[in-house]
Amino acid sequence: MTRTGINLLSRPLLAIALTALSLSWSLAPARVCSDSSGLSTSAEIEADFNAAPCKDSQRLNAVKSLFEKMGAAPSDVAVEKYRGVENVVVRKQGASDDKIVIGAHYDKVSDGCGAIDNWTGVVVMAHLYRTLKPYMLKKTILFVAFGKEELGLVGSHAFVDRIKKEELPQYCSMINIDSLGLAAPQVLDNTSSKKLTALTADVAKELNTPFAHAGISNADADSSSFIARKIPAVTIHGLSNDWMKILHSRNDRVSRVNAANVYLGYKLALTLATRVDESPCNAYR
Ligand SMILES: [Zn+2]
């Protein structure tokens, strides 16, 4: 999250797993187990964000290692360097070249550990990769860890800048995950497309997940770079009302992360991604 302004396998199996899990999630979240369904557990996700590297210089390699831990071959993990910024891109080929981008920035500001902002997003994105990897989806998914978000969305600007005009129609939607874990998942209205926000609200209702959306006038996120190129995009965050006392300060550390709220973000983003995958590519434009 960047401060701005004054304040600086088969598809049916996945569907069944998600339906079953939405019941389990609402009944007994602690009992959800990854053994049969392929879904990550809250404890697994918590263990990974507890290992958040507090030094910015360690983060690029940590992202690569995390994706490899989640089952990516080293050759699947590409570091794209462009305009002085490095983005980590992991491609999961689908039945078509229509694309969904799932993104989270990996860089941090100098203060604090960047646990909430945004190692939570990186870890959730990596677990989404692991969960979706066995399934042949309709669309190709690009998992992208953006660099230099905190310097003004530099990595995501560079990423969209490389998309040729004639390729734009193949970019169906972008789901950005930034700063989970202080409260239940929410959509940041000022950096999100209306139709994708409405879909996210519908998905949250189906999952019985607490959900809200609102604008935060002094916050920006990588989804803005995609919207600027007319690619539908949504930012899911988990900020509380006192976020300005925590983000970009020494208070942004692992002990402030609420694991249950991060897990809600994981299941919301997972179901949202499968719903977008099932839709026509232009459904949310
Ligand atoms: Zn930030």
User: Could you read off the pLDDT of 36-67 as tens digits, one per residue?
Assistant: 678 999 999 999 999 999 999 999 999 999 99
Number of compact structural domains in the chain: 1
Residue type, 267: K
CATH code of the domain containing 38: 3.40.630.10
Cis amide prior to 118 (ω within 30 degrees): yes
- pLDDT attached to residue 224: 98
- Give, as residue ranges, everything with CB less than 5 Å from ion ligand 1: 1, 117
- pLDDT attached to residue 36: 60
Q: Is residue 118 part of a domain?
A: yes
Q: Is residue 236 part of a domain?
A: yes
Q: How far apart are CA 134 and CA 145, in angstroms?
A: 21
Q: Is residue 247 part of a domain?
A: yes
Residue 4 near residue 191 (C-beta atoms within 8 A): no
Residue 269 near residue 45 (C-beta atoms within 8 A): no
Quote the domain boundaries for residue 37.
2-278
Question: Could you tell me the distance, in angstroms and rounded to a whole number, from the CA of residue 269 to the centre of ligand 1?
Answer: 20
Q: Is residue 283 part of a domain?
A: no
Question: Could you tell me the distance, in angstroms and rounded to a whole number, from the CA of residue 279 to the centre of ligand 1?
Answer: 31
Reply yes or no on whether the pLDDT at 266 is more than 90.
yes
pLDDT: which is higher, 34 or 176: 176
Of the pLDDT bands very low, low, confident and very high (cuts 50, 70, 90), residue 13 is low
Q: Is residue 285 part of a domain?
A: no
Q: Is residue 284 part of a domain?
A: no
- Three-class HEC string of 138-180: CCEEEEEEECCHHHCCHHHHHHHHCCCHHHHHHEEEEEEECCC
Q: Is residue 12 part of a domain?
A: yes
Question: Could you tell me the distance, in angstroms and rounded to a whole number, from the CA of residue 219 to the centre of ligand 1?
Answer: 9
Residue type, 238: G
Q: Is residue 82 part of a domain?
A: yes
Of the pLDDT bands very low, low, confident and very high (cuts 50, 70, 90), residue 8 is very low
Q: Is the pTM of this model over 0.75?
A: yes
The position carrying tokens 């998905």 is 203
Residue 185 near residue 211 (C-beta atoms within 8 A): yes
